[in-house]
Amino acid sequence: MNGKGLSEYSWLIIARLLSRNYSVRTAFEYLRKTMPDDTGVQRICEHLENGGQLADVLSDNGFERKLRFYVRYLPLGQSIKVTAEELRIVRESRKKFVSGVSYQVILMICSMGVLLLFTKVVLPVMIRSLDTGYRKTASILLRFRIIALIQNSFLILAAGIGLSYRYVTITGKQELLWVFLHRHKRDGRLRVIVTCAMARKLKILLDNGVSILAALKIIRYGTRDPLVRLLAFHFDEKLEAGEDFEKSLDMDYFDPRFHSLCLLGLKGDDFPSALDDYIDMVEVTLNAAIKRISLVFQGVCYLFVAVTVVLAYQVLLLPLEMLQQF
């Protein structure tokens, strides 16, 4: 159902009331009394009073869209807590990623802007007053063309990667792409990312009192990430086929470190802590990789700007050099 829906804050109030053993209807009645002008609360209360199901009246905003799935499998209080925790982790991850790459993105945009400004605005004006047949002038212009070619090639490559990713996501071929990469043993980094994403979802559900088997079912049918869903599908299928939990962890699509740490956790009867250890390990590895890539990218951008500035300086000196020839 479309509509604005309740705020995340309102849902967390409902979860707290439910944790104090109030009924769902009583919790919403309390919310209606404290928020009489909230049309979303009024709509839900009226829907429940008419005997409707809560899932049928939830809106399509981010929080309620997730909540609408979970309430089909879990009590409302658990569903709210799981949804809130998932969104909190997504926000934190996005914030870390943006803070980690924002400087490099700004640096890239500025370096390309400097080159564009000089080649499209400054350089044409200066060239009109120079002898383009002069050997050094022609050499500098050639270097500018080479730098512009490198920049355009990079932009075309980035656009190609972006369009390819968009095509794969729109057509829903992420699973086929992963299977192809896995078959050719080129999915190492992707396997780590997807395994970590599934471990996060599994940890959230376990922390909120959901059993392992039920949590796998929920991830298998509920996540919007098709790759996590594929991983949970294979995991769940092995369990349904009667394999022991320990054996089901030994799967090619899992990161090998996940398998090893989970076995240690099971032996110590502390599987959730094993998930925490794995997530922390992956975060350290990925953060180090992002930092290395950022440093390389940063160095390339600095070099790009330095070469542009040096060539610009040489262009500025050309009139003096040409005068010395007379």
**173-199 per-position pLDDT tens digit:** 888 888 888 888 888 889 999 999 999
Residue 220 CA to residue 198 CA, distance in Å, equals 10
* % of the chain at pLDDT higher than 90: 24
CA dist 298 and 245 (Å) reads: 45
As a whole number, the mean pLDDT across the chain is 84
Kindly report, residue by residue over 91-104, the tens digit of the pLDDT. Answer: 998 888 888 778 87
Residue 312 has pLDDT above 90, yes or no: no
Closest CA to 44 of 74, 64, 19: 64
Q: What is the pTM of this model?
A: 0.81
C-alpha–C-alpha distance, residues 275 and 262, integer Å: 7
Integer CA distances (angstroms), 100 to 93, 161, 254, in order:
11, 21, 27
- pLDDT, tens only, 199-238: 999 999 999 999 888 998 899 887 678 899 888 888 888 8
Tokens at 270, concatenated:
């502390």
Instruction: Read off the pLDDT of residues 229-271 as tens digits, 9 standing for 90 and up.
Output: 888 888 888 888 888 888 888 888 888 899 888 888 877 778 8
103-150 tens-digit pLDDT:
878 888 887 787 777 777 777 777 666 655 556 677 777 877 888 788
**Could you identify the residue written with the tokens 């707290």?**
16
